[in-house]
Chains A and B, each alone.
Chain A
Amino acid sequence: MFVEQDFHNLPYDRSRNFNRRIGFFPDTDFQYRDFEKRMKNRVLLFSVLTILSIWIASLAGLFSLIDANLGDLFVRTAPSDASVVSNILLVETDADESPENRERIVENLQKYNPERIVLTEPPNSPAESFISLSRRYPNVVLGRSLRSDAAGAEPSLSPWPLDPGTDVPKFGVAAIPPPSYGIYRTQYAYVNVSGGNYPGLESAAAGLVVSESLPDTFLVNFQAGYGSIPRISSQRALSGDIVPELVAGKYVLIGKKQIPGEPGISTPITPDAPMSRLEFHGYALGTLLSGKTGKTVSAAIALSLIAAVAAVSFSMHCGLSAVLFQWLAFPVAAAYLVAAWGFLVFWNIRLPAVEMLLAHFVASAGFFLRRVNAQEADLRRMAIETSSWLSKRVLPKGFADSSEQWTLAASMVNQTLDLTRTIFLESIEGEKRVKEVAGLHCSLSDIAERRRDFTRTPYKTALEESEPLKLESDFLKPIPDDSGERELQYLVPLRFAGMVMGFWAFGIYPSGKKNIPRFETTIAIFAEQLGELLHRRMRKRRESISRSGREGFFSFQEGKRGYLRDLKQSADLIERRLSLLESAIESGETAIVLFDLFGRVLFINRRMIDLLKGSDLAPFQMTPMDLTMALAGGSADKFRELLRFFIFESDTFTLSAKLPSETDRRFLLHMRRPIPAGGLAEEVRTSPFKSSGILFELVEVTDIAKAGEYKDAFLSSVTTGLRRDLEPIVLAADLLAEEKLPSRLKASCSEILKRRVADMISLVQNAGNELAKENFHTLDERYPLDPTEPLKKAVEALAPEVAGRRLEIEIEAPESKSLVCAGPNALVDVFKAILSVLVGDAATDTKIKIDVINTDDGIIFTFANKGFGIPNAAFQRYLFERDEVGTPEFRRLRRAVVQARQWGADIRASSEVGEGMRFTLHFETGTCNWNWER
């Protein structure tokens, strides 16, 4: 059994190495490296393209609106910064406020020492006082508006109400740049009118000097929030009801108040509630005075930022798993947003947030899709290569290629199951019909049903049944020379991986069916194998069609479904092969345990578990050294050195071993390092820890050892025979040398001499013949047989001796006896050996009794006599110990004991002086290692 290990949790490298180690999949190492390289190159190219595209689009202003709206959102959500407008005071006048009133307001305000008074717009009518105000009060700045005389004409400054002459008062252009998508965000620093640069109203009020380095507009800072600038009405200013601190040192802007119902200015902080122009000028002046003008980044910096974002995505793509990458995409985007917000709020820098977000998402999505596509492509390629490799490695070529193989299969199935006839039908791809693959004693024309449509009966019924469908009416045409028995006909669906591959129709006589143990199960096993063979045939045909077509080795016309089907079928094949291999290892005679280099059991088969359990050894609690010591004996130091030598020097090691509880059984303990076929041997030799572990094979060699003993015993017997024949020859020769020996005796000696020489020659010849026999084959022969016949033969062979001793052999046996697993001739010899000893020991005129009893687990033979007997200790020694003494009868009996034990039988014997001897021979069912019926 495989010791459970969760390979799914192994890191990728380990699982790849595992696959390579067991030699099951083609080497994917190079493919993986190639995949990584291709991925990186493509991703880099994609990154560069993404960066440039977004940057160019940004330069083209494609993101202006979204950027502006996002900036407005940042402003609205930013904490209020009242310091921006802390030096500003607004005086709101009516729309029809008279120039005199304005003058009075200015004069009133001057009493409170304002820093500057700004008249944001010229009076509607000519007024000298407007100009003289500026002349009287140097801190007064006059606003002049722009006007266009005709549509499309270049704007010009509105004329002074009265000609000021050469002494031009201090003024600024009271104009506001056009809105961007309806929102006013910027203000003029200076205005170019008719070739001359004039300061904007705020610039003039702030005392800024117009220069080439000054940008023509600036971003107004609205962070103070709507309504944060203090204001007073013109009436209050005229009445003189003014708080001095409100005016002292402040920049006072005088202008029209917003009249409800009139269009105002939409700003980032008042998208829906328009702001008055006066208020806008207030924010703009505050912005200039506080120096907190908004700044945008240059194109180069924007490019750098976009590239940096893409680089971060690329790093994430390379360094993170696909799942983590996916999960982190949104938090990283949020971080970019927060950063953009922070830059605006704290440093008044407007980052290209939209471009950054776009770069992040496009790069992330692109990388993710690229990764998924590449992995899917690789997965598909691996599936194809695995399928291709499987078809070469696992599937025998000939079966799919040649129809002769199918004829052989039909013949084999017929012979094994004793069928009257058989036919294999396969389903036609893309249709619901079947066609013939091969048949024996029948063909497609013998099928009475002509449609061959497997959506109809009887095919449909067979598919619905979970076992072979016995057909009530003739499916195959009746056999003309039917010999009495009525043929039974069956239809069996052949499936593979849940798909209908075809059908198997066959006929069988009832007597034949009776002989098949577990008929339905047996047929199902055959059907499963045939289904797989049909699948291979179909697949091979698809491959050859595909190869001859334009699609290449594998057809993917069916797209993903076809690919998944191939993958599933490959997996099914692998599973089947693994199950087969596992069961082969499980059911093998060799006991196997595989340790990793650190002493953990990776795999152990049932036979090893049984052997070790029988000796109270727990493999899962043992290290390789413990196991070696327990089985091969010896000191820990010796085995430590041995293991070291094994790991670093040698690939294989063989030790003689015994199980602690069964010392009469002999084993060889092979230790080896499992190294995949076709390489790595040198690599493992130079780096021992690359080895997969230590494989222990415990091979039972009791039979071989016993066979050796058998040969030893035989040679000993021949030697003894030669010695026996030589002795009379020597004695006779000595007598012949005696001169005084009577001639009668001399003649007799000569006769003995000749006869014994002839005996010797015969003995030597027989020995030669015996040694030429394939003793191992004879020893190994075993199959289920009825013991009655061998027992009769043994009794008949001993009849003369039995008669000579006036004995009788009495057999008591049931009518029906269990089968025993043995070789027929060897079983006769075993019975003869037992009976010979009993006959030799039996007292004259007694009976030798043979009782045969069927038991639950087999059959027991009991042989007993009434005879002289010998002490039981000596008897046991003669039979079961390595003692050379004893009569030929006992030596034969010892060989019989060895033989019986090789068949798995248990043989016991006892003897008592004056009573006789008794033998019990117990055969268990199932000792042939296959199931057989009684």
Chain B
Amino acid sequence: MNPTERKTVLIVDDDADCRRLLAIHLKLAGFDVLEAPNGLDAISMLNEKKASLIVTEWQLPIIDGLRFLNWLQNEFETPPPVLVLSAAAGAGAEKNMLESGADAVLFKPVAAAEILSAVEKLLNDANETK
């Protein structure tokens, strides 16, 4: 990764431990990290700052993943890539999430390396698209 182009990753998760640990992993991998505990705070944060990629839980208080993605689709012409990292792994969940605007879906528990790999892939794909 080019150090001059540090990417910012927004982590949205109501599980503080998960959010914090993932942030450490991403920082160690060279990303800037923003953290939000729910969809509402994430929206507030994105109104002020720009994120290159969003890693979000699907089940969120106040404004859940679906509504958050809907907001992203409505708010940005080209929304940042979204990696849904969710504990809700029911039947049809992945399809539903992808249809709602997620670019990739990983179900917890998943290793840090896999998350980082998915994050980098999404960012590369986003660069290529530009």
Query: A residues near B, CB below 8 A?
Result: 716, 719-721, 723-724, 726-732, 734-735, 738, 741, 745, 749, 752, 755-756, 840-841, 868, 870, 874, 883-889
What is the minimal beta-carbon distance from B44 to any residue of chain A, in angstroms? Answer: 13
Nearest-Cβ distance from residue A879 to partner chain B, whole angstroms = 14
Main DSSP-derived SS at the A contact region: helix
Given contacts A727-B110, A887-B59, A887-B64, contact A732 B89 (CB under 8 A): no
- The residue in chain B whose Cβ has the minimal distance to the Cβ of A729 is B109
B70: nearest residue on chain A (CB-CB)? A871
Q: How far is the CA of A755 from the CA of B64 in the complex (A)?
A: 26
The stretch among B17-25, B45-53, B75-83, B121-129 that forms the contact with chain A is B17-25
Which of these, B60, B66, B91, B108, contacts A727 with CB under 8 Å? B108
Q: Are B87 and A723 within 8 A (Cβ)?
A: yes
Interface-centre pick from A721, A731, A870 (highest chain B CB count, 10 A): A731
CB distance from B95 to the nearest CB of A (A): 10
Distance of A728 Cα from B58 Cα, bound (Å): 16
B63 interfacial by beta-carbon distance below 8 Å: yes
User: Could you say which residues of chain A place their CB within 8 Å of the CB of B96?
Assistant: 883, 885
**A887:B61 contact, CB within 8 angstroms:** yes
A726: chain B residues at CB < 8 Å are 108-109
Contact A727 B18 (CB under 8 A): yes
Check: B28 CB closer than 8 A to any chain A CB: yes
Q: Verify B108–A724 contact, CB threshold 8 A.
A: yes
The 7 closest A-B pairs by CB, nearest first: A884-B90, A726-B109, A723-B87, A731-B21, A727-B108, A728-B17, A734-B112
Indicate which residue in B17, B28, B59, B113 contacts A720 across the interface (CB closer than 8 Å).
Answer: B59
What is the bound-complex CA distance between A731 and B25, given in angstroms?
Answer: 8
Q: Give me 11 other A-B pairs in contact (C-beta within 8 A), A723-B108, A724-B15, A730-B111 excluded.
A: A716-B90, A723-B89, A723-B109, A726-B108, A730-B110, A731-B18, A732-B17, A741-B24, A749-B21, A840-B62, A884-B88
**What is the CA–CA distance of A874 and B17 in the complex, to the nearest angstrom?**
30
Given contacts A719-B89, A726-B108, contact A886 B21 (CB under 8 A): no
Q: A727-B108, A870-B67, A887-B64 are in contact. Are A735 and B88 (CB under 8 A)?
A: no
Scan residues 6-55 of chain B and give those whose CB is less than 8 A from a CB of chain A: 15, 17-18, 20-22, 24-25, 28
What is the chain A residue whose CB lies nearest that of B22? Answer: A731
Contacts of A888 in B (CB 8 A): 59
- CB of B90 within 8 A of CB of A885, answer yes
Q: Across the interface, which residues of A come within 8 angstroms of B93, CB to CB?
A: 884-885
23 contacts between A and B (CB under 8 A): A716-B88, A720-B88, A720-B89, A724-B15, A724-B108, A728-B17, A728-B18, A729-B109, A730-B110, A730-B112, A731-B21, A734-B25, A734-B112, A738-B28, A752-B21, A755-B17, A756-B17, A868-B62, A874-B66, A883-B96, A884-B91, A885-B97, A888-B59
**Minimum CB distance partner of B63 in chain A:** A868
A191 to chain B, nearest CB (A): 130
Residues of A within 8 A of B85 (CB): 727
Complex alpha-carbon distance, A755 and B18, angstroms: 12
Complex formed: what's the CA distance from A255 to B89 in Å?
Answer: 143
Q: Please state if A745 and B24 are interface contacts (CB–CB under 8 Å).
A: yes
Determine the chain B residues whose CB is within 8 A of the CB of A840 once the complex forms.
Answer: 61-62
Check if B25 sits within 8 Å of A728, measured CB to CB.
no
Tell me the complex Cα distance, A735–B91, Å: 31
Q: Min CB distance, B106 to chain A, in Å?
A: 10
Closest chain-B Cβ to A810's Cβ sits at a distance in Å of: 22
B3 at the interface (CB under 8 A from A): no
Residues A885 and B15 in contact, CB atoms below 8 Å apart: no
CA gap between A693 and B101 in the complex, in Å: 59
| Cα–Cα distance between A874 and B21 once the two chains are bound (Å) | 33
Chain B CB within 10 A, most for which of A727, A741, A870, A886: A727
User: 0/1 per residue, B91-118, Cβ < 8 Å to A?
Assistant: 1110011000000000111111100000
Q: How far is the CA of A86 from the CA of B107 in the complex (A)?
A: 137
Q: Which residue of B lies closest to A751 (CB)?
A: B17
- Smallest beta-carbon distance A172→chain B, Å: 133
B residues less than 8 Å from A870 (CB atoms): 67
Question: A723 contacts B107, CB within 8 Å?
Answer: yes
Q: Is the CB of B58 within 8 A of A735?
A: no
- For B113, the closest partner residue in chain A by CB is A734
**Complex: how many Å from CA A619 to CA B5?**
76
A884 to B66, CA, bound (A): 13
Task: List residues of chain A with CB within 8 A of the CB of B22.
Answer: 731
B contact residues around A719 at 8 Å (CB)? 89
Q: Is the CB of B92 within 8 A of A720?
A: no
* Bound form: Cα–Cα A716–B93 in Å: 12
Q: How far is the CA of A498 from the CA of B125 in the complex (A)?
A: 95
Shortest distance in angstroms between B18's beta carbon and chain A's nearest beta carbon?
Answer: 5
In the complex the two chains form, is B21's CB within 8 Å of A728's CB? yes
Give the distance to chain B from A804, nearest Cβ to Cβ, in Å: 12
In angstroms, Cα B108 to Cα A720, docked, is 9
CA distance A887 to B91 in the complex (A): 15
Q: Chain A residues near B25 (CB, 8 Å)?
A: 731, 734-735
Complex Cα–Cα for A612 and B18 (A): 54
Within 8 Å CB of B90, what residues of A? 716, 884-885
**Which residues of A are found within 8 Å of B58, using beta-carbon distances?**
885
**Nearest B residue to A742 by beta-carbon distance?**
B24
* Across-interface contacts of B91 in A (CB, < 8 A): 884
Instruction: Write the chain B residue with the least CB distance to A871.
Output: B70
For A874, give the chain B residue with the smallest CB separation. Answer: B66
Report how far A756 CA is from B61 CA in the complex, Å. 20
Known: A723-B87, A752-B17, A884-B90. A734 touches B60 (CB 8 A): no
Residues in A with CB closer than 8 Å to B20 are 752
Indicate the member of B63, B64, B91, B113 with the most A CB atoms within 10 Å.
B64
B64 and A886 form a contact (CB under 8 A): yes
